[in-house]
C-alpha cells in the first residue's frame, strides 16, 4: 500500500483497517521512512511496526516525556531505573535487560524473577487468559536459561456478590471471572509440576470491568549459564508448539480499552494454553543449557516472531533473516503476516552456532518437541523475512526500535475527601468477626488448595501455616540440596489507598512487601514492580501514575531495595470506567539459614507479645472504613527511616534466635493480626490497648483497626525479653500482651475493662468462612 500519498486521515484509516493501533504521529513516521526508502510497505512490515511500537512491547508511556507541575520526566529513566542505578546493589546480575531480572543467590548461582500481567485476555477468556499468563511468565524464566521453581499469582476482581441485574453490558460477572482465572492458573502450574507458593486476592468495585491478573515465576540458574550473545552466522531456531491464528494482535489488544464489542472482536487475540507442551520444552531447554549449546534464548510472547527475532537481533547489534515457509503451522492457509505476529503459546527462539545445531535439534526431538532452523543472524542490522521466496519484511532495526517519543501532560489534583464522622461501635467483637470474614482479609484456602504448593519438595514456609492453615507473611524455598540458604518471596498491594493518593499507595505496597519478607527472615531484598492503570492519555490518570512512580524511587532508595524487573499494563478501561490504579510489588529476598525461618503463629504459653512500631489515627482506605462504606482521607503513610531501623533490628533478632513468631500488621490492623497469630497457633492471646505505642488515640476501634505501616507483632521467649527491649530501645516498642493457655483472644480497652473475649474457634470460623460461607 502506498503511504507516500496518504493524508493524515487516510493514514489513520489504514491503521484502523489493519488493527495496528498506531497513532497519527506513528503513521507519519512510517510514511516518512518508506518514502525515503522509495517504496511502499508490505502488510507484514506494518504489522511488525505495530507490534514493536505497541504500549505492551515498547512501554512508550514509561519511556516517553511527561510534563507535570512544570517538570519534565521520564517514568522509567527518572524513577524506576534511576533508583536501581543509585542503589548499585552488588548482588544484581541482570536488571531490565532481559525476560527476567537476575540476582545472585551465592557465589556461583543466581535467582531469576519475573511477574507479568494478563488482564485483557483474562477479561475475555478467564481460564485461557490466566493459564497463558502463567505459561508466558514461566517461559520468561526459561528465557534467561533458568529452571522454574515456583509460581506466584495476585488477582483482583469485582465483588463476588455483585447483583447480576446491575452488571453493565459487555461485562462478565466477577464470580465467573474468579472461577475461570483460579482454574486456569491451577491447570497450568499443576500440570507443569511448579508449585504456586505466594499470592493475594483483592476485591473492589474498581475491578468490575477490568479484572487484574498478575502471574509470577521464580527460577534458579548457574550464573555462568546466563548467556545472551548471538553473533552473525548463528542459526535462529524456533522450538515448541505450532504457530496458529490464536493470539494474533494480542499486544495491540492489550494496548487498547475494553469495550462492549471486545468479547466478539478480540477473542482471537487470546492464546490457547498447552502446559504439557511447555513441560517438554522446559526439559529440552535445561538440557541445552547444561551442555552449553546455546548463544541466546527468548520466549515468543507479545508480537510473536516479529518481536522475538527483532529484539534479539537489535540487542546484539545484529540483523536477522527469517524464512517463514519453515515455520511449523497449525493451519495450512495462514498469511505471512499471521505467521509473523501470531502469539501462539509454548514457543521459544534460540540462537545456536552452526556446529551445535544438530545436537540441539536432537535434544528437542528426544523430548518430542518440534524444532526447526528458520533463519540466521546477519551483520547488516536489518530485519528481513521471506515467504515463498518473496521478501515480505525489510526493516532497518534502528528505525524499528526508535518509535516517536510520546509527549504528554499530567495533572494531579488531590481528591476532595472527608474523614467519616461516626460513633465507635458498641460491639467491637462483632466488628472484628466481620473484618475477619470480609473478602479482602478472609482465608483464601479454597483457592490455595487448588494449587500444588508442595511439588518439587522445596517449600519450607508454605502459603498456609500450621495445623489450622493460617496466613503466612511470605513463603520460603530451599532451592538447592547442598545449601542451607533459602529464597523468601513476598508481595505488597494496597489498591484502596490509591483512591486517596497513589503516592502513598505505592509507598505502602513497597513497605508491605519488604516488611512481609523481613518477617519471615529475608534480607538483601530485590523488588519487581507491576503497574495496572487506566488510559495514560488522560492527564488525571497519568498524574496518578507519576505520583506512584515518584514513590517507587523514594522508597526503593530508602530501603536499599533495587528494582530488577517490572511490567506495566495500561489502558485498563471499560464501559464501567478506569481500573482502580494498582501497583503490585513483589519482593525476593535471601535467608542465609533456612532453619531460622520465622512463621507467624504463636508457639508457647506465657511468652510475651511485643508490638514494634507506632500506631497512628490513619484509617483512610482501610478495611475497617470499607466495612462501614467509608473511604476517608488520611491514608497510612510510610516513615522510611523508622521502618528501615526496625527492619534491620528484626533481622538481627531473627539471627540471634530472639523471636519465636513474627507477624506484620496490614489489612485490618492490630485486631486482625493478633487473631490470626492466635487461631493459627491454637493458643490464646491477651492484649492491652493501653500499651499500644504511638500518639494518643482515644478510640479503641481506631487502635484496633488502624493500618499504620511499619509495625510488627513478635512473640519473644521469656528469657529474651531484656535483650529485645535493649535492642529496640530507640524504636517504638511495647510489651502489649502475652500467650496464654486459654482458647480465646482477650483484649483490654483504654479504661482497663475487657472489650473483646472471643474464642479461637469463633475467630477461625469467621476467617475461614469468608469466601465459602456454610
* Set 56, 120, 249, 453: catalytic member: 56
Burial 347-378 (b: 16+ CB within 10 A, else e): bbbbbbeeebbeebbebbeebebbbebbbbbb
Check: CB of residue 199 under 8 Å from CB of residue 189. Answer: no
3-state helix, strand and coil shares in percent for the chain, rounded to the nearest 5: 40, 25, 40
93 Cβ contact partners less than 8 Å away, ≥ 6 residues apart: 102, 103, 104, 110, 223, 226
Nearest Cα to Cα of residue 428 among 744, 757, 689:
757
Enter the C-alpha cell of residue 577: 470506567
- SS3 readout for 629-681: CCCCCCCCCCCHHHHHHHHHHHHHHHHCCCCCEEEECCCCHHHHHHHHHHHHH
Is residue 56 part of the annotated active site? The answer reads yes
Active-site entry in 118, 120, 468, 663:
118
- CA 436/CA 362 separation, integer angstroms: 56
599 touches 472 (CB < 8 A): yes
CA–CA gap between residue 724 and residue 712 (Å, rounded): 13
* Torsion (CA) 101, 494, 200, 469 in degrees, nearest 10: 120
Are 410 and 66 in contact by the 8 Å Cβ rule? The answer is yes
Longest dimension (CA), the chain: 87
Residues 453 and 196 sit within 8 Å (Cβ to Cβ): yes
Which residues have a Cβ under 8 Å from the Cβ of 599 and sit 6 or more positions away? 461, 465, 466, 472, 520, 661
CB of 505 closer than 8 Å to CB of 497: yes
Cβ–Cβ < 8 Å for 694, 616: yes
| Cell numbers representing residue 164 in the block | 447480576
From first CA to last CA, the distance across the chain in angstroms is 63
Q: From CA 144, how far away is CA 142, in angstroms rounded?
A: 5
- The cell 540476582 sits on which residue? 103
Cβ atoms of 369 and 242 closer than 8 Å: no
Contact residues for 251 (Cβ-Cβ < 8 A; gap 6+): 51, 54, 56, 57, 302, 303, 307, 343
Q: Which residues are known binding-site members for ATP?
A: 114, 529, 566
Pairing of strands 196-203, 147-157: parallel
Q: Tell me, what DSSP letter sits at residue 78? A: I
Rg of the chain over all Cα atoms, to the nearest angstrom = 26
Q: Contact at 8 Å (CB) between 93 and 103?
A: yes
Q: Cα-flanking dihedrals φ and ψ of residue 607, to 5°?
A: -65, 140
Annotated binding-site residues read 114, 116, 139-140, 271, 299, 343-345, 529, 566, 569
**Three-state secondary structure call for residue 693:** coil
Known binding-site residues for substrate equal: 139, 271, 343-345, 569
- Residue 115 and residue 199: Cα distance in Å, rounded? 11
CA distance 366 to 196: 29
Joined grid coordinates for residue 333: 492457509
Residue 150 bridge partners (DSSP): 218
Residues 261, 273 contacting (CB under 8 angstroms): no
Question: What number of CA atoms fall less than 13 Å from residue 304's CA on the CB side?
Answer: 32
The binding site for Mg(2+) comprises 116, 140, 299
Residue in the block written with cell 483497517:
17
- Rounded distance between C-alpha atoms, residue 477 and residue 487, angstroms: 5
How many Å apart are CA 314 and CA 528, to the nearest integer? 25
Residues identified as active-site: 56, 118
Amino acid at each position: 500500500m502506498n503511504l507516500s500519498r496518504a493524508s493524515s486521515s487516510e493514514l489513520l484509516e489504514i491503521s484502523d483497517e489493519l488493527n495496528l493501533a498506531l497513532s497519527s504521529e506513528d503513521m507519519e513516521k512510517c510514511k516518512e521512512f518508506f518514502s525515503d526508502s522509495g517504496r511502499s510497505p508490505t502488510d507484514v512490515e506494518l504489522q511488525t511496526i505495530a507490534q514493536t511500537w505497541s504500549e505492551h512491547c515498547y512501554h512508550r508511556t514509561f519511556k516517553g516525556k511527561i510534563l507535570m507541575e512544570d517538570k519534565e520526566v521520564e517514568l522509567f529513566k527518572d524513577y524506576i531505573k534511576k533508583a536501581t542505578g543509585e542503589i548499585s546493589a552488588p548482588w544484581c546480575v541482570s536488571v531490565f535487560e532481559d525476560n527476567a531480572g537476575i540476582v545472585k543467590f551465592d557465589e556461583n548461582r543466581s535467582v531469576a524473577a519475573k511477574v507479568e500481567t494478563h488482564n485483557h485476555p483474562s477479561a475475555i477468556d478467564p481460564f485461557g487468559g490466566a493459564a497463558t499468563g502463567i505459561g508466558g511468565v514461566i517461559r520468561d524464566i526459561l528465557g534467561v536459561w533458568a529452571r522454574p521453581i515456583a509460581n506466584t499469582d495476585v488477582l483482583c476482581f469485582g465483588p463476588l456478590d455483585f447483583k447480576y441485574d446491575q452488571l453493565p453490558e459487555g461485562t462478565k460477572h466477577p464470580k465467573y471471572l474468579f472461577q475461570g482465572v483460579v482454574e486456569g492458573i491451577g491447570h497450568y502450574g499443576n500440570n507443569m509440576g511448579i508449585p504456586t507458593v505466594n499470592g493475594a486476592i483483592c476485591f473492589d468495585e474498581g475491578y468490575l470491568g477490568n479484572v487484574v491478573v498478575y502471574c509470577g515465576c521464580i527460577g534458579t540458574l548457574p550464573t555462568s549459564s546466563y548467556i545472551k550473545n548471538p553473533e552473525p552466522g548463528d542459526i535462529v531456531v524456533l522450538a515448541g508448539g505450532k504457530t496458529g491464528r490464536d493470539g494474533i494482535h494480542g499486544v495491540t489488544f492489550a494496548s487498547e480499552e475494553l469495550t462492549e464489542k471486545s468479547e466478539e472482536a478480540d477473542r482471537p487475540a487470546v492464546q490457547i494454553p498447552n502446559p504439557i507442551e511447555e513441560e517438554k520444552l522446559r526439559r529440552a531447554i535445561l538440557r541445552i543449557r547444561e551442555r552449553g549449546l546455546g548463544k541466546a534464548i527468548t520466549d515468543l510472547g507479545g508480537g510473536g516472531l516479529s518481536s522475538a527475532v527483532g529484539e534479539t537481533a537489535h540487542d546484539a547489534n545484529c540483523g536477522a533473516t527469517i524464512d517463514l515457509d519453515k515455520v511449523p503451522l497449525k493451519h495450512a492457509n495462514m498469511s505471512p503476516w499471521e505467521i509473523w505476529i501470531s502469539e501462539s503459546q509454548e514457543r521459544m527462539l534460540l540462537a545456536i552456532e552452526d556446529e551445535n545445531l544438530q545436537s540441539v535439534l536432537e535434544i528437542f526431538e528426544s523430548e518430542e518437541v518440534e524444532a526447526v532452523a528458520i533463519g540466521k543472524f546477519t551483520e547488516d542490522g536489518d530485519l528481513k523475512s521471506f515467504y515463498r521466496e518473496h521478501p515480505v519484511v525489510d526493516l532497518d532495526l534502528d528505525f524499528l526500535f526508535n518509535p516517536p517519543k510520546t509527549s504528554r501532560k499530567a495533572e494531579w489534583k488531590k481528591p476532595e475527601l472527608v474523614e467519616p464522622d461516626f460513633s465507635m461501635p458498641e460491639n467491637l467483637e462483632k466488628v472484628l468477626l466481620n473484618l475477619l470474614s470480609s473478602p479482602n482479609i478472609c482465608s483464601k484456602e479454597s483457592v490455595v488448595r487448588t494449587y500444588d504448593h508442595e511439588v518439587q519438595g522445596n517449600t519450607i514456609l508454605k502459603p498456609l501455616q500450621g495445623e489450622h492453615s493460617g496466613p503466612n507473611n511470605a513463603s520460603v524455598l530451599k532451592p538447592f540440596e547442598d545449601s542451607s540458604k533459602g529464597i523468601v518471596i513476598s508481595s505488597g498491594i494496597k489498591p484502596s489507598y490509591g483512591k486517596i493518593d497513589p503516592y502513598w499507595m505505592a509507598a505502602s505496597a513497597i513497605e508491605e512487601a519488604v516488611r512481609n519478607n523481613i518477617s519471615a527472615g529475608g534480607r538483601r531484598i530485590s523488588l519487581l514492580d507491576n503497574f495496572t492503570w487506566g488510559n495514560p492519555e488522560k492527564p488525571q490518570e497519568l498524574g496518578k501514575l507519576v505520583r506512584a512512580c515518584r514513590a517507587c524511587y523514594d522508597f526503593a532508595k530508602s530501603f536499599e531495595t533495587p528494582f530488577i524487573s517490572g511490567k506495566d499494563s495500561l489502558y485498563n478501561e471499560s464501559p464501567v470506567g478506569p481500573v482502580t490504579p494498582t501497583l503490585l510489588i513483589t519482593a525476593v529476598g535471601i535467608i542465609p539459614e533456612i532453619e531460622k525461618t520465622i512463621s507467624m503463629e504463636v508457639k508457647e504459653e506465657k511468652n510475651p507479645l511485643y508490638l514494634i512500631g507506632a500506631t497512628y489515627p490513619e484509617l483512610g482506605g482501610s478495611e475497617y472504613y470499607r466495612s462501614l462504606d467509608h473511604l476517608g482521607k488520611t491514608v497510612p503513610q510510610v516513615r522510611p527511616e523508622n521502618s528501615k531501623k526496625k527492619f534491620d533490628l528484626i533481622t538481627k533478632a531473627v539471627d540471634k534466635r530472639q523471636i519465636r513468631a513474627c507477624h506484620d500488621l496490614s489489612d485490618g490492623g492490630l485486631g486482625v493480626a493478633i487473631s490470626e497469630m492466635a487461631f493459627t497457633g491454637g493458643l490464646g492471646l491477651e492484649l492491652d490497648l493501653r500499651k499500644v505505642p504511638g500518639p494518643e488515640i482515644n478510640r479503641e476501634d481506631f487502635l484496633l483497626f488502624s493500618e499504620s505501616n511499619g509495625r510488627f507483632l513478635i512473640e519473644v521467649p521469656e528469657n529474651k525479653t531484656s535483650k529485645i527491649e535493649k535492642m529496640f530501645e530507640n524504636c517504638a516498642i511495647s510489651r502489649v500482651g502475652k500467650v496464654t493457655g486459654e482458647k480465646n483472644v482477650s483484649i483490654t480497652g483504654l479504661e482497663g475493662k475487657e472489650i473483646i473475649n472471643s474464642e479461637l474457634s469463633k475467630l477461625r470460623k469467621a476467617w475461614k468462612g469468608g469466601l465459602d460461607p456454610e
